[in-house]
A = this chain, B = another copy of it.
Amino acid sequence: MKAEIITIGDEILIGQIVDTNSAWIAARLNEAGFTVVRKLTVGDDRREIADAVEGAMRTADAVIVTGGLGPTKDDITKQTLAGIFGGEMVRDRETYERNGRILAARGIEYNELNREQATVPSSAEVLQNMHGTAPGMWFTRGGKAVVSLPGVPFEMKELMETEVMPRLAAHFRQSKVVHRTAITYGLAESVLAATIAEWEAALPGYLHLAYLPSPSQIRLRLSAYDIEGRREEEEIERRFRVLERLIPDYFIGYGDATVASATADLLRARRATLAVAESCTGGALSASFTAMAGASDYYLGGVVSYSNDVKVGILGVSPDTLRLHGAVSEQTACEMAEGVRRLCGADYALSTTGVAGPTGGTPEKPVGTVWIGLATPHGTRACKSVFARLRTQNIERAAAAAANMLRLELLHRQPTE
Residues of A within 8 A of B (CB): 10-20, 22-30, 35-44, 48, 70-75, 103, 105-106, 108, 111-114, 117, 130-131, 133, 152, 154, 179, 181, 188-191, 193-194, 209-215, 221, 223, 276, 278, 281-291, 293-296, 299-307, 309-310, 313-314, 343-345, 356-359, 386, 388-393, 395
Contact = CB atoms under 8 A, between A and B. Distances in A.
A152 B302 CA distance: 31
Nearest to A72: B211
Given A114-B190, A214-B152, A282-B289, A15 B19 contact: no
Contact of A13 (B39, B113, B303, B304): B39
A221 B43 CA distance: 14
Contact of A304 (B11, B194, B283, B395): B283
Given A282-B286, A357-B293, A72 B16 contact: no
A34 to B, nearest CB: 10
A71 B189 contact: yes
Contact of A309 (B288, B300, B393): B300
Contacts of A395: 287, 290-291
Nearest to A392: B291
B40 A38 contact: yes
13 contacts: A12-B23, A13-B39, A15-B23, A15-B25, A15-B30, A16-B27, A39-B40, A152-B215, A282-B289, A283-B304, A303-B304, A310-B344, A314-B344
Contacts of A152: 213-215
A192 to B, nearest CB: 8
B11 A221 contact: yes
Contacts of A30: 14-15
Contacts of A154: 215, 390, 392-393
A290 B283 contact: yes
A74 B211 contact: yes
Contact of A283 (B112, B131, B302): B302
A299 B279 CA distance: 11
Given A39-B40, A133-B190, A313-B345, 17 more contacts: A10-B221, A13-B35, A14-B26, A14-B27, A15-B23, A16-B212, A18-B19, A70-B211, A72-B190, A72-B193, A74-B211, A105-B386, A114-B188, A291-B395, A295-B306, A301-B304, A304-B304
Given A48-B38, A113-B194, A213-B70, A296 B307 contact: yes
A270 to B, nearest CB: 18
A211 B9 CA distance: 10
Which residue among A43, A283, A313, A390 has the maximum number of chain B CB atoms within 10 Å of its CB? A283
Contacts of A276: 283, 304
A189 B70 contact: yes
A154 B388 CA distance: 12
Nearest to A116: B190
Contacts of A72: 189-190, 193, 211
Nearest to A15: B27
Contacts of A302: 283, 303-304, 306
Nearest to A106: B188
Given A12-B26, A15-B26, A344-B310, A301 B296 contact: no
Given A154-B215, A210-B74, A283-B283, A19 B17 contact: no
